[in-house]
Structure 1
Amino acid sequence: MRVLLLPLSLACLTTSHLSHADSTPLSLPTQVVLGSQQNQPDARLPLTRDSVSGAQLQPNALGANLSESLQRVPGILALNRENYAQDLQISSRGFGARAQFGVRGVRLVQDGIPLTMPDGQGQPALFDLDTLDRIDVLRGPLAALYGNASGGVIQGFSGEGPFYPTLENRTAVGNDGLWRSRLRYGAQHDAVNIQTSLARLETDGYRDHSATRRDTGSLRLGIDIDDVSSLTLLFNALDQPDTQDPLGLTADQLRADRRQAVAGSQVFNTRKSVRHQQGGMNYQRLLSNADQITLMIYGGTREVQQFLAFPGSGQFSGGGVIELDRRFGGAELGWQRQTVAFGLPVELAAGLTWDYQGEERLGFVNAQGRKGNLQRDEFNRVQGRDAYLISTWTLHPDWTLTAGVRHSQVRFSSDDDYLQDSNDDSGSSRFSQTNPALGLSYQWTPALSLYAAIGKGFETPTAQELAYRPTGSGLNLDLGAARSFNRELGLRLRQARTEVTAALFDTRVSDEIVTGPNQAVTGRNTFINAAESTRRGLELSLNQQLDHGLSFYAAYTYVQARFDSYQSEGDDFSGNRLPGVPRHSLFSELAWQVPDSNWRTALEAQGMSQRYANDANADSASGYAVFNWHASYRHSIGGLNLEPFVRVNNLADREYVSSLIVNGPGGRFYEPAAERSWLAGLSLEYQWR
């Protein structure tokens, strides 16, 4: 069965297939065949897109962190904090580098269902890596057509279950009590295709006070209703109780003992518990006039309890224990048509979206690791409404024009129910933006295509960034949205054994959201708008197939990211580099698939240049280069497939800083990476025929 899924918010930005010589209309790439092999990006669409699939998705790695596969994508930094309480740090062309937990500035989507909330905050732990077939990463001006994000989109596509019933177990163990095991089942049952998985991860953590247990589960049902319609049902869940948080280290603490936890983490028993469930449906139907419609509906719940490293007992402090009880959901209705306008083939896509999140936010005193008196009680809402129209015009067999516009409205509101402080902090804030995007591509030769694109984007504050004022209590409703103007030039060269991509980009941002003055008494971060910033850079990738089963891949990124105009509390940061953004970053891999054998091995190299830790550029993390090695062997015995694997990271035992807590309070910026570490595992798969 080939189940079709149509994520309409991605309406014209995925792939279609049309050879250079083909004179048929360019197919708008709205529908994605799940379970198919990795599709090549259409050379006639003016966008920057990279796909990760196959062995690249889980390169003999743990299989729990998106950073394992995204590190090979140019323009993307996917960093493991060695701290599961704060999730991964992911940024795109500098957008999102300031996020102190989770992901912002980059939209996360799986199977058309958003994993990014309406306020722009996303959690990469929600990706079900165990069932993914591929990950697409989009950057550049046309990414603005996705809505509330400036850095692009990371979209995962689940694979179909195999035709024959298949049961697989994959277990891995490593340093520091690391253990993860998953159980996955897939099969075709008449018109229903099923893919489901359960997994558990446990670790004592590289650093003190960083123990974690994470349980995940997912279910995907693909249903062929008839010849012209299909339905996909999705459900996933995450349960991560009492994940210890060692907090960031100062430079002196890093030098003294890189594995230590901050003293306050022990006193206040800093930790986070998360329970998340969400489900969705995606219905697609082809109408008699060749129009195509799609309806997507999703919803879920998220419960969070977090113990911070201070009591939070002051009058306006809001507490040192945060409890969030969130309900969220949304829907999208889309339409697509092929037609002719002004004598030219054109394809149109249009749609309406609605998203909602409502959460009760409570704050309590942290009484040395126990929940104390109530300090905050409010109900916050975020509602988003979008409308978009996208067109792709075949101007000539060699020339293609893509034009689109998206109008977005996002409204934040808060009802304050904590009136013991004699303040009613209820209020609301509304953001509205119309973002156009335009791109032109030229197929110079069958192997080489060129493109140019421009577009506007915007990025609202997240609910967490609005949560605290520099003084007093209540939401920081003075915080505005950041707006960007993006330009890009690129090329793609694809020959029999060689693929090369290159992109030059220039992005101007006004009202950049940055870390402002720390809140009085608590020292927690608040946020303000800087005036202007610029990101200019270059992305390069090379994929070369060599003889004797060898292949070489490299991805290089150069980013010059600066504040053009930024003053705060009497300090002038104009001309300073954006913190958390390295000027140079590189990933490369030399892989060997042993001919006439099931052995595969690879040597990886990755590194980056210096990164500043704060807006003042007074503190920084040094650049580094590390090497990793992994190998696997696959063997079959009847219907049973066995695949043992091994991985060694940081072969030279280098000490370096993986991620930075940008503008972290008290100079606690540094989250060190593990030194040399090992991982070994075994996959067992049985198929009934």
Structure 2
Amino acid sequence: MAGWVMALPAAAQAGPAPAVLDTVQVQAARVRAVDDFDLPASMTVIDVDEAGNGRGALVSEAMNGVPGLLARERQNLAQDTQLSIRGFGARSTFGVRGVRLLADGVPASMPDGQGQLSHFNLLGAERIDVLRGPFSALYGNSSGGVVQLWSGDGQPGDPWRLRATWGSDASSSLGLQLRGQVAAMHYNVAASHYRTDGWREHGAARRESLNARLGFDLAPGQRLDLLFNVLDAPHAQDPLGLTREQVRADPRQATAVAAQYGTRKSVRQAQAGVVYTLDRERRTWRLMAYAGQRTVEQFLAIPPAAQASPLHAGGVIDLEGGYGGVDARWAWHGELAGKPLELVLGANADRQRQHRSGYENFVGDALGVKGRLRRDQRDRVGNADQFAQAWWRFAPRWSLLAGARHSRVRFESDDHYVTANNPDDSGRRDYAATTPVAGLVFRAGDDLRLYASAGRGFETPTLNELGYRADGGAGLALDLSPAASRNHELGAKWRTRAGARLDLALFRADTDDELAVASNRGGRSSYRNIGATRRQGVELGWLQPVGETGQLQLAWTWLQATVREGYLTCTGLPAPCTEPRNPVAAGTALPGVPRQQLFARWHWQPGPWQPAIETVAAAATSASDLGDARAPGYGLLNLEAARQWPTARGPLRLFARVDNLLDRHYIGSVIVNDGNRRYYEPGPERGWTLGLQWQWTR
């Protein structure tokens, strides 16, 4: 989490017209004197409008129009959304790493940097904040960017909402939101159910989610918020990736071993948090605490022969454990040398405890069932951070935002599966870093701001990346170093009273000790530090009213992500690879990162109807470190329409959406460095969604 707050106008977003936002709290005590237009950072505020025309079940639906952000739905709910910001996090083959995730201020990223989006509940959400660039580093470990979801605050007279959708591939969703205020209690409770047979074979899944935010006005300037979230996603089938030949033959097929081993994943999570805020004339105190429990069971397609080694951890992953943390911060508003000053100081600590078990995925000749125990260890990760941030308008046309964060992360593992042929794998490793950031803003005119910012960031290995040594020996990969980055950004922001907005940013991030795959064998990957990489590019976001009823949105990203120092890798043939032998030349593109992305949307309301047309395009994407496999670029066209009727109790709304209207064949996402060269996850053909929503007042 970060020791600073800010808000910026939405440069572009998927969905209806954005609300005009004042200064909004991103994280920490509110910086009351700072207008959102006067901060040296790139951020998009996505208004999660109640009039959205999608399924409303997956958070990626709301993030198509954010410059610099890549959110790819994999047509595979056993694996989370592929999420990267300016190329950070693109190498992740499961979950989200390299990008910091939070929901209502509660971390959705664990202390080791691994995060999940699956419990983000769109039905109860009011907005999503996406932060890019140097100031992301103020959120600590693995903050190449930040994504935060905020639930709405119930107010008197808020309507309740019932929403249902039906669509292609037997997909359906049902959601209920109760929102309002009773006496001193503000409430927002959202429950949703989603299920699908999947566009690909062996892709069925369902997901139930409950999110609740209860706010209590204790006294003038005092507020208590209680936060609850529950997720249940049982037996989500995993169709696995496909080779290029399999995609050509039938893009809807699942890999044969997916059905043979019954590849699937079950996730259950429950968490609660409490936030106390005390706001006085010049000072604000904020205290947050949270705790949760998460279980994961995943069946992999690892053949019994690969598990013959006494060091193998098996083909079934079983994780169970708790997590929690506290965050305290203080903000002060005053003057320095007669000029406005904002100061924020704070500290936080987070803990993650995990019981990791591994089992064989066979019993005798029966495959896809839990067999003998092959791994039993207790992992602990914790961090303790301190941070400070100051904003100072030291001249009428100039302002400075600066801050620093010190982070210390400790990994500990106790091995309880020790045999004559499997020695003790216990170990411990500490990481620490200080990440300073600073930015200047020049007020070039009433409608124009120019800014420059710079900072440092760092990213530790995750528990999964520390799990295996590259040399195949027992124990953790304690020789891995954290990746360290240097980030720079130049930007301009322009907006008019008529509602037009333009955001332009040029950025560069140089990273040392980047983490990459060292070896793939026996169904497991090990990692090592490879040296220097660079991510640089341009982002453009434009929002333009068209007449009195229309709006045009545009988001474009050009990103060059390359290796700066050559190295040897295990990616490629022969497989399995036991030691790096394939050279990766300097200048090779980093995998998982398209060179260009484009999103454009025209939305208008010529009466009771609300039609919209949008296009989404991406350039070719490399799938391996060697650059010898890649998914071709694509462009898709989507259509929407909605009609609303008034009723005695509230509006009734019917909506429809057609995705991939031209029925294009394309690769929706890639599995970076897959050891079997099954890199490709095809995107769906033409699909439709039909929905109904009723809002009623009481």
**Residue identity opposite 2:610 in structure 1:** R
Return the match for 2:89 from 92, 96, 109. 96
Does residue 647 (structure 1) correspond to residue 657 (structure 2)? The answer is yes
TM-score (norm 1): 0.93
Does residue 148 (structure 1) correspond to residue 141 (structure 2)? The answer is yes
Return the match for 1:350 from 335, 345, 350. 345
Corresponding position of 2:164: 171
Deviation at 1:422, TM superposition (A): 4.1
TM-aligned CA distance change 1:40 to 1:181, over 3 Å: farther
Does residue 525 (structure 1) correspond to residue 517 (structure 2)? The answer is no
Does residue 482 (structure 1) correspond to residue 483 (structure 2)? The answer is yes
Does residue 663 (structure 1) correspond to residue 673 (structure 2)? The answer is yes
Q: How does 1:175-190 map to 2 (within 5 A)?
A: 175-190=168-183
**Residue identity opposite 2:500 in structure 1:** T
Partner of 2:36, secondary structure, is coil
Does residue 337 (structure 1) correspond to residue 347 (structure 2)? The answer is no
Deviation at 1:135, TM superposition (A): 0.8
Q: How does 1:629-640 map to 2 (within 5 A)?
A: 629-640=639-650
Partner of 2:245, secondary structure, is helix
Corresponding position of 2:289: 297
2: CA distance, partners of 1:278 / 1:125:
13
Q: Indicate conservation of the 8 Å contact 2:656/2:690, yes or no.
A: yes
Deviation at 1:524, TM superposition (A): 2.3
**Residue identity opposite 2:112 in structure 1:** D
Corresponding position of 1:576: 588
**Residue identity opposite 1:557 in structure 2:** T
Deviation at 1:571, TM superposition (A): 3.0
Deviation at 1:189, TM superposition (A): 0.7
Corresponding position of 2:46: 52
Corresponding position of 1:606: 616
Deviation at 1:635, TM superposition (A): 1.4
Corresponding position of 1:564: 564
Deviation at 1:375, TM superposition (A): 0.3
Q: Indicate conservation of the 8 Å contact 1:318/1:473, yes or no.
A: no
Return the match for 2:238 from 227, 233, 245. 245
Return the match for 1:306 from 287, 294, 298. 298
Does residue 672 (structure 1) correspond to residue 682 (structure 2)? The answer is yes
1: CA distance, partners of 2:553 / 2:258:
41
Corresponding position of 1:506: 508
Corresponding position of 2:17: none
Q: How does 1:149-548 map to 2 (within 5 A)?
A: 149-164=142-157, 166-287=159-280, 290-310=282-302, 311=304, 312-367=307-362, 368-420=367-419, 421-470=421-470, 471-495=472-496, 496-519=498-521, 522-548=522-548
Partner of 2:169, secondary structure, is coil
Partner of 1:176, secondary structure, is helix
Corresponding position of 1:21: none
Q: Indicate conservation of the 8 Å contact 1:298/1:331, yes or no.
A: yes
TM-aligned CA distance change 1:649 to 1:440, over 3 Å: same
Q: Indicate conservation of the 8 Å contact 2:558/2:595, yes or no.
A: yes
Q: Which runs of 5+ in 2 are unaligned?
A: 10-22, 569-579
Q: How does 1:57-72 map to 2 (within 5 A)?
A: 59-72=52-65
TM-aligned CA distance change 1:524 to 1:481, over 3 Å: same
**Residue identity opposite 2:603 in structure 1:** A
2: CA distance, partners of 1:483 / 1:84:
32
Deviation at 1:176, TM superposition (A): 0.9
Q: Write out per-residue CA displacement over residues 185-241 of structure 1, whole angstroms, 9 at most, x where no aligned residue.
A: 112110001111211111110111111011111111010000021011100110011
Q: How does 1:29-40 map to 2 (within 5 A)?
A: none
Q: Write out per-residue CA displacement over residues 354-383 of structure 1, whole angstroms, 9 at most, x where no aligned residue.
A: 000000000000001110000000000000
Deviation at 1:29, TM superposition (A): 7.6
TM-aligned CA distance change 1:41 to 1:668, over 3 Å: farther
TM-aligned CA distance change 1:81 to 1:230, over 3 Å: same
Corresponding position of 2:126: 133
Q: Indicate conservation of the 8 Å contact 1:581/1:611, yes or no.
A: yes
TM-aligned CA distance change 1:581 to 1:203, over 3 Å: same
Which moved further from structure 2: 510-519 or 647-656?
510-519
2: CA distance, partners of 1:73 / 1:40:
23
1: CA distance, partners of 2:133 / 2:51:
26
Q: Write out per-residue CA displacement over residues 243-300 of structure 1, whole angstroms, 9 at most, x where no aligned residue.
A: 110111111111111111111111111100000111101101135x732211000110
Q: Indicate conservation of the 8 Å contact 1:322/1:361, yes or no.
A: yes
Partner of 1:637, secondary structure, is coil
2: CA distance, partners of 1:154 / 1:330:
19
Q: Write out per-residue CA displacement over residues 129-167 of structure 1, whole angstroms, 9 at most, x where no aligned residue.
A: 111111111111111111112421111111122413743
Moved over 4 A (4+): 26-33
2: CA distance, partners of 1:272 / 1:529:
30
Corresponding position of 2:79: 86
Partner of 1:127, secondary structure, is coil
Q: Indicate conservation of the 8 Å contact 2:7/2:45, yes or no.
A: no
**Residue identity opposite 1:223 in structure 2:** F
Q: Indicate conservation of the 8 Å contact 1:643/1:684, yes or no.
A: yes
Q: Indicate conservation of the 8 Å contact 2:5/2:28, yes or no.
A: no
Percent identical? 41
TM-aligned CA distance change 1:77 to 1:135, over 3 Å: same
How many aligned positions are there?
Answer: 661
TM-aligned CA distance change 1:209 to 1:607, over 3 Å: same
Partner of 2:614, secondary structure, is strand
Partner of 2:61, secondary structure, is helix
Partner of 2:475, secondary structure, is coil
Partner of 1:252, secondary structure, is helix
Q: Indicate conservation of the 8 Å contact 2:544/2:553, yes or no.
A: yes
2: CA distance, partners of 1:560 / 1:608:
13
1: CA distance, partners of 2:24 / 2:445:
20
Corresponding position of 2:637: 627
Q: Write out per-residue CA displacement over residues 440-461 of structure 1, whole angstroms, 9 at most, x where no aligned residue.
A: 0011000000000000000111
Partner of 1:265, secondary structure, is helix
1: CA distance, partners of 2:34 / 2:641:
27
Partner of 2:121, secondary structure, is coil
1: CA distance, partners of 2:309 / 2:194:
38
**Residue identity opposite 2:120 in structure 1:** F
2: CA distance, partners of 1:154 / 1:171:
27
2: CA distance, partners of 1:477 / 1:260:
40
**Residue identity opposite 1:503 in structure 2:** A
1: CA distance, partners of 2:27 / 2:187:
23
Partner of 2:257, secondary structure, is helix
2: CA distance, partners of 1:91 / 1:29:
19
Q: Write out per-residue CA displacement over residues 429-477 of structure 1, whole angstroms, 9 at most, x where no aligned residue.
A: 1110000001000110000000000000001111122222331343222
TM-score (norm 2): 0.92
Which moved further from structure 2: 331-340 or 350-359?
331-340
1: CA distance, partners of 2:466 / 2:531:
18
2: CA distance, partners of 1:306 / 1:355:
26
1: CA distance, partners of 2:551 / 2:339:
42
**Residue identity opposite 1:478 in structure 2:** D
Q: Which runs of 5+ in 1 are unaligned?
A: 1-7, 17-25, 34-38
